[in-house]
Structure 1
Amino acid sequence: MSRSRFASVLPDLSPLRSSPDFRLLFYQGTVTFFGSFMAMIALPLQIKHLTDSPLAVGAMGAVELLPLVVFGLYGGALADAVDRRRLILLTEAGLGVLALVLLVNSALPTPLLWPLYVVAACVSALTGLQRPAMDSLMARIVPHDQLTAAAALNGLRYQFGAIAGPAVAGLVVAYAGYASAYAVTVTGFFVSVLLCLRLRPAPPARDAERPSLRGIAEGARYAWNRPVLLGTYAVDLAAMLFAFPNAIFPFLADELDAVWALGLMYAAGAVGSLLLGLTSGWASRVRRHGLLVVCGAGVWGLAIAAAGWSGNIWLVLLCLAVAGAGDMLSGLGRATIWNQTIPEELRGRLAGIEVLSYTVGPQLGQVRAGTMAGWTGTRSAFWSGGLACVASVALLAALLPKLISYDADTDEDALRQRAAKEEEPQPSGATA
C-alpha cells in the first residue's frame, strides 16, 4: 500500500487542527473516560466484595437507569437554555466530588455499602445532565464538513477508556486496593475540570426558553416529523433491544469451557470499534450517512448471530469484535446525521432523546437476552437476537426510506445547517 493510500485510511485529524475547543474536549474525554471506567469496574467489584451477592451487584443497574432517563431528558432541555460550557464544567466537577466520596468511603476501616448505591445513582443523574450538553456542543465547535471525523475521534477516545480503564482497574484493585483505583478517578476528573475551564463560553440562543415539559415535547415532535432522525433512533433502539447479550456472556463462556476468556469477551467489542476508528479516514468522504447507520446495525446483528452459532471461543471473540466495528460504523452515521441536521436551538433536547435511545435499548436488551437464555438456551438467545436485529433493521429501512436515501449534499436540513454554520463568525484560533 502506498503512503498516500495508507494515510487515507488513518483517522482524519482535521477537527483537532481546526478547533481548539474540540482539542480540549478530546483530551478531556480521554482522561475522563479512562478514570471513569476505572471506577465503573471498581464499584461493582467492591459491592461484590462487601456482599458476595449477584443480586446486590445487579441492583446497581436498577438504581442507575431511572436517574439517567429523567435527567437525560431534563439535561437536553437545560442544554438549550444555559451556557453549555458552564453546564459541562459544573457536572464534571460534581462527578469529581462523587469520585472523592468513593475514595473516602473505601479508605474507612469498614467501608459502607449504601454510599456506593447513592453515588451510582448520582453519577447517572449528572451524566444525564452533561451528555446532551457535550453532544450538542460538537456541531457548534467543529466545521460542518468535519463532523464525521469528529465523531470518529470521539469514538476513539471512548474506546481507549473502555479498553484501558477496565484492564488497569483490575490490576490496581487486585494489587493496590479500591482506594487506589478511586484515586486515579479523582485525579482524572481534576485534570478534566482544568481543561474544561479553558473552553470558550457556549451561550444559548437569545430567544431560548426555560427548560419545561413543553420544550421537551417540542424536541420530540421535531424528531418525530423528521424520518431521517426518527430512523437513527429506531435503528439504534432495535439493534440494542434484540442483540445486546452482554448479560449472558458468563453463561456462553461456561458452555464453551472458556471461563478464562470472559474478560476478553467483554473487551472484544471495544477492540473492534477501536480498530474501525483507527482506520476511519475514508468515512470523512462518505455522504450517505443513513447507509452507515443501517449497514452498521446489520453487521452488528449478523455478527452477534454468528457468535451464537460458533462453538469455538476464538471465533466468538472474532464475531464480537466484528460486532463492535459494526456498532462503531452505525454510530458514525448517527452522530453525523444528528450534528448535520439538527437546528442549534434544539440540539440539546434532541441529544436528551438520544440519551434514551442508547441507555434504554441496552438495558432492555439484557433483559431480553437473559429471558431468552432461560427459555431456550444461551446460544439460541444469541443467534435469535442477532437475526431479529437484522430483520427489524431491514423493516425500519423499508418503512423509513428517507434514512437510506439521506445525502449530506442534498438533504434540506443538512444544507440549511451548513448555510447557518457558514454565516457564523469564526472564533479566533479556529479555521474552517
Structure 2
Amino acid sequence: MSLRDYFADTRPLQVPAYKRLWVANIATVIGAQLTVVAVPAQIYSITDSSAYVGLTGLFGLVPLVIFGLYGGSIADSFDKRKVLVVSTAGMILSAAAFWALSAMGNTNVWWLLLTFSLQQAFFAVNQPTRTAVFRSILPIDLLPAGASLNMMLMQAGAIVGPLIAGALIPFIGYSWLYFLDAVLLLPTLGAVLALPALPPKGEKQRAGFRSVLDGLTYLRGQPVLLVAMLLDLIAMTFGMPRALYPEIAAENFGEHDQGGVMLALLYSSMAAGAVLGGLLSGWISRVVRQGLAVMVCIILWGAFVVAAGVGVLMSPGAVTFWAWLVIIMLVFGGAADMFSASLRTAILQQSAAEHVQGRIQGVYIVVVVGGPRLADVLHGWAAAPLGVGWATLSGGALVIIGTLLCAVFVPSFTRYRRPPVTEVSHEGS
C-alpha cells in the first residue's frame, strides 16, 4: 500500500447521488448539533433544574426506539426516496416549530420537550432509511468506505456544532439557532429530492407491527448480524465512561469549578479520535476478513479504555502526564471505535437481504442509541463502590472479555469475509 492508501477512501464521492447527500449533510450535521445544544440549554434557562434537562433523554429515547423499529418497516414498504423526503421535511418543520416557540417567548418547558420528541421521531424514521439507501446507490465494495466517510462527517459535526452553538447563544439567542437548523436542513432536502426512485425490492411488505416482527424473525436467524449488533452493545455499554467525566475532571484532574478545559477535552476526545480515524480509514475498503477486523478493533477499543482507567487511577488530583494520557487513550479509543463501527455498518448492509435493510437498520439505531445510555447508568452506579478509575478500567476489561466470548461462541462472525463484488448499483447517478 502507498501512503495515499492509508487516507480516507473517497471513491464513494465519485457516485453522484452519494456525493450530493454527503456534501449536503455537512451543513445539516452542524445545524442538528445547534439544536442538540440549544434544547437542554434553553430548558435549563427556563427551569434552573438539571432534572428537567434530564427529561430530554427520556423524551428523545422513547420515540427513537419506537420509530426506529417502525421507521425501518416504513423504509422497506415504500419508496425510500419518498420516505426521506417526508422525514426530512418533518425535521425542518420541527426546527421551525422550535424557532416559533422561542420567538414567541414560550416559557413552557413541556412544549419544548414535546417538540423535541416529535423531531426525534422524524429522525428515527430518516436515519435507518438513509443508511439503507446506501446499499442501493453504492457498489458493494464501496460500502465500508461510504460508512467511514459518513461517520467521519457526523463526528466532525459533533465537535464543530457545539462550539458554534456555545459561541452564538449569547449573541443571537436560542430562536435563531433553531432557525439556522431549519435552513441548514434545506441542502439535504434538495439532495434527497435529486435521488432516483428507490422502490422496495422483492415481495412488497405492508408497514406495521407484523412487518416489524417479520424483520426481527429474519434477524434471529442471522447470527452474523446479531453478533455485529451485540458487539456494539458490548463496546458501548461497558466501554463508554462519559458519565464519569465530570467527577474525573473535578477529583482526578483538579478542576473543581464547573466546566474547564480538561472536562471539554474529555467530552470531545472520542469524537476527535473518530475524525482522525476517518481521515486514516483508507485501509478499511481493502479488508477482506471483516469479522476478524471488527473483533480486533473492539479489543483495541477496550484496551485503550483500560489504559485510560490506569491514567485516572494514577492522576494525583492535578493536570499531569497521567491526565494527558487519559485524553490520548480516549482519542485512540475513538479511532478504534470508528473503524469497528464502519466495518459493522458495512457488514449489516452487505449481509442483510435488501428487502429488510430498513428494518435491520432500524434495530441497529435502537442498539446504537441504547448502548451509551445503558453505559451512563452502569458507570454511574459503579463509580460509588469502585471509584471512577476502577469503573473505567473494569469497563474496558469487560469489553475485551465480552468480545473474546463472542469469538468463541459464534466463530462464524470471526470467519466472516467481505462478499465478492458481483453487483454494481446503477441507481446512484
When the two structures are superposed, what TM-score results if normalisation uses the length of structure 1? 0.92
CA distance in 1, matches of 2:389, 2:330: 14
2:7 is matched with: 10
| Count of matched residue pairs | 415
CA distance in 2, matches of 1:199, 1:6: 34
Alignment of 1:132 onto 2:142: no
Return 5+ residue gaps in structure 1 as ranges.
409-413
Q: Which amino acid aligns with 1:102?
A: F
Q: Which of 179, 183, 193 is the equivalent residue of 2:175?
A: 179
Q: Which of 324, 340, 357 is the equivalent residue of 2:350?
A: 340
CA distance in 2, matches of 1:326, 1:332: 10
Q: Which amino acid aligns with 1:12?
A: D
* Structure 1 stretches of 4+ moved >6 Å: none
CA distance in 1, matches of 2:393, 2:177: 37
2:380 is matched with: 370
The answer to whether the 8 A contact 1:21-1:141 is kept is yes
Structure 1 residues 187-232: Cα deviation after superposition (integer angstroms, max 9, x where no partner): 1112221222111111112521102333222222222222211110
How far the C-alpha of 1:305 sits from its partner, in A, is 2.2
Task: Give 1:35-46 correspondences, 5 Å limit.
Answer: 35-46=31-42
2:319 is matched with: none
1:288 is matched with: 289
The answer to whether the 8 A contact 2:95-2:119 is kept is no
How far the C-alpha of 1:110 sits from its partner, in A, is 5.0
The answer to whether the 8 A contact 1:292-1:332 is kept is no
CA distance in 2, matches of 1:195, 1:55: 39
Partner of 2:77, secondary structure, is: coil
CA distance in 2, matches of 1:291, 1:392: 15
Partner of 1:365, secondary structure, is: helix
CA RMSD of aligned residues (A): 1.7
How far the C-alpha of 1:102 sits from its partner, in A, is 1.3
Task: Give 1:61-76 correspondences, 5 Å limit.
Answer: 61-76=57-72
Alignment of 1:96 onto 2:92: yes
CA distance in 2, matches of 1:33, 1:397: 35
Q: Percent identity?
A: 33
Structure 1 residues 362-394: Cα deviation after superposition (integer angstroms, max 9, x where no partner): 111111011111332222221111111111111
Partner of 2:194, secondary structure, is: coil
Q: Which amino acid aligns with 1:171?
A: A
CA distance in 1, matches of 2:8, 2:417: 22
CA distance in 2, matches of 1:73, 1:156: 25
Q: Which amino acid aligns with 1:15?
A: P
Return 5+ residue gaps in structure 2 as ranges.
316-321
Q: Which amino acid aligns with 1:210?
A: R
Structure 1 residues 125-179: Cα deviation after superposition (integer angstroms, max 9, x where no partner): 1111111111111111001111111111111211221111111111111333212
Q: Which of 212, 217, 236 is the equivalent residue of 1:240?
A: 236
CA distance in 1, matches of 2:113, 2:379: 25
Task: Give 1:152-171 correspondences, 5 Å limit.
Answer: 152-171=148-167
2:324 is matched with: 314
How far the C-alpha of 1:271 sits from its partner, in A, is 0.6
The answer to whether the 8 A contact 1:30-1:160 is kept is no
